[in-house]
Chains A and B, each alone.
Chain A
Amino acid sequence: MNETLSNRRKEAAPFPARDRNWHPAADTPGYKSTVLRAPKKALIAFESTLSEKTGPAFGHNMLGELDNDLIHNFAKAGGSAIGERIVVHGRVLDEMGRPVPDVLVEYWQANAGGRYRHKKESYIAPLDPNFGGFGRSITDREGYYYFRTIKPGPYPWPNGVNDWRPAHIHFSVFGSGFAQRLITQMYFEGDPMVAKCPILNTISDKRAVEQLTAPLDWANSIPMDSLAYKFDIVLRGRRSTFFENRAEGN
């Protein structure tokens, strides 16, 4: 279409402000590590510029064949990770409900006994020699991703005298703009430990906690193989750019 006759504009659109009350506050003393790490001064707000409206893209050809198979991507030949076999799948959408295609989703987790493969980890539960605990996907054209893993175990951590993390999977998600960058955690439907978790309790709105809790997806379970959990992720949406004031020559 002739651009001079079109009212379409080829320009990255900005993001509406983040709802900071939906996210956890920075300073949440119930989660003690925040005390020395939460900024004390007010954030300075401004509308996203090109630096935040753009972001890196990663090609599907970056992925290895087993990158989304945590049961096998670290296992010895013929081996597989121990635990309840599950599939986690869902869509990356934006706040306007549009799918977000071609974005990198990374995930990491403890093994079935609640132990991470990390030098700083000291929990007595054993490592699984066939489980690395991480993987990655890139969403397809409809924003869809999926991976296979084992259900992680809960684990104790130094915070209060007896604090435990509910079973969870960490997620890191890129959008099409760097302003959408997000790290979060997914929890499992029906876990009584969710309500006791100091990290989940950094979130004040119960509905926001529910948004992090993946339902058991019976219909998509694979008979005689794996249960399924569905976890949709919502990134900031780009607002429409009607009648923007623009400088001459821009």
Chain B
Amino acid sequence: MVQALNQFKETPSQTAGPYVHIGAVPNFCGITGVYPEDLGKTMVSDGVRGERITVTGRVIDGGGNPVGDCVVEIWQADAGGIFNSPEEHRAGADPYFTGFGRCPADTDGRYSFETIKPGPVPGPGGATMAPHITFWIVARGINIGLHTRMYFSDEETANAQDPVLAMARPLGREATLIGKREGDTVRFDIHLQGENETVFFDV
């Protein structure tokens, strides 16, 4: 025998189920008067630094149907590449930007966030990660939250240097991680299965 490590197992995940809205976005599903506003609805406030953008897209299942009952969360750095988080020790983040968004899809599977374009962030081994937004998707039929990233189509040079995109490239799947910039809107569809299945990460 050896000494015990005294480590615990992570609590196992279970699906968020069809009624995740009740707990996550009660005002959205018509239960008003308990929370003043749904969590993660407002990411930016007046005075925010950086480029204001709308990030929007659809979540699609393996049959081509919209995933109309999912909830999408995002997490990202501010325009200077700093996170508004107690775990950020490099510098203070923009106080007018939370970095966290939560949006329930509509019946068409569409989500939308009013946010800003993040700056680049230091990556492993001194690399720089191109501007990106982390996505986390939960729904009925998803047993454990799906983690992915959206990069920006107008960042070709930075994307070419990005260590995470570099892992998807040889698999021919890099394009599933790129949001298409059209003016102030960035379009990013998420495919849970099929030919264009989005790359999901174990991170």
Note whether A and B form a binding pair.
yes
Chain A residues in contact with chain B, CB under 8 A?
10-12, 17-20, 22-26, 28, 31-41, 43-58, 64, 66-67, 73-74, 93-97, 102, 104, 106-108, 116-121, 132-134, 170, 172-173, 176-179, 181-185, 199-200, 202-203, 207-209, 211-212, 233-237, 245-250
A residues near B47, Cβ cutoff 8 Å: none
Q: Which residues of B contact A17 (CB under 8 A)?
A: 202
**Interchain CB contact under 8 A, B16 and A183:** yes
Which of A10, A28, A58, A118 is the most central at the interface, judged by chain B CB atoms within 10 Å of its CB? A118
Which of B62, B76, B122 has a CB less than 8 Å from the CB of A37? B62
In order of increasing CB-CB distance, the 6 nearest A-B pairs are A247-B126, A108-B23, A33-B141, A56-B100, A37-B141, A54-B85
| Chain B neighbourhood of A19, CB < 8 A | 9-10
B62 and A36 contact, CB distance less than 8 A:
yes
Q: For the side of the interface on B, what is the size category?
A: 35 or more
Residues A36 and B123 in contact in the complex (CB < 8 Å), given A56-B75, A56-B85: no
Contact of A31 among B76, B129, B143, B193 (CB under 8 A): B143
B189: Cβ under 8 A from any A Cβ: no
Q: Which residue of B lies closest to A245 (CB)?
A: B125
Report if A95-B7 is in contact (Cβ < 8 Å); known contacts: A52-B134, A73-B34, A121-B19: yes
CB distance from B105 to the nearest CB of A (A): 13
A56/B10 in contact, CB under 8 A: no
Judged by a CB distance under 8 angstroms, whether B61 is at the interface is yes
Highest count of chain A CB atoms <10 Å: which of B24, B129, B132, B197: B24
Q: Is the interface of B mostly helix, strand, loop or mixed?
A: loop
Query: Are A97 and B136 also in contact (CB < 8 A) when A36-B192, A183-B13 are?
Result: no
A24 CB to closest chain B CB, in angstroms? 4
The reply to whether B22 and A116 form a contact with Cβ atoms under 8 Å apart is yes
Q: Which of B83, B142, B201 contacts A44 (CB 8 A)?
A: B201
Please determine whether A46 and B26 come into contact, CB atoms closer than 8 angstroms. no
B138 at the interface (CB under 8 A from A): yes
Closest to A45 in B: B202
Q: Which residue from chain A places its CB closest to the CB of B21 in the assembled complex? A: A118
Inter-chain contact B87/A23, CB cutoff 8 Å: no
> Is there an interface contact between B24 and A74, defined as CB atoms closer than 8 Å?
no
Q: Is B14 an interface residue (CB 8 A)?
A: yes
User: What residue in chain A is nearest B126 (Cβ atoms)?
Assistant: A247
Given known A11-B89, A199-B15, A233-B11, contact A40–B23 (CB-CB < 8 A): no
In the complex, the answer to whether B23 meets A134 with C-beta atoms within 8 Å is: yes
Contact B122 A24 (CB under 8 A): no
B121 and A34 contact, CB distance less than 8 A:
no
For A116, the chain B residues whose CB sits under 8 A away are 19, 22
Q: A22-B12, A23-B10, A52-B134 are in contact. List 11 more A-B contacts (CB 8 A).
A: A25-B143, A39-B193, A49-B123, A56-B99, A56-B100, A67-B35, A96-B7, A118-B19, A134-B22, A177-B87, A182-B13
Given known pairs A18-B202, A178-B75, the reply for A119 and B30 (CB within 8 Å) is yes
Are the CB atoms of B200 and A39 closer together than 8 Å? yes
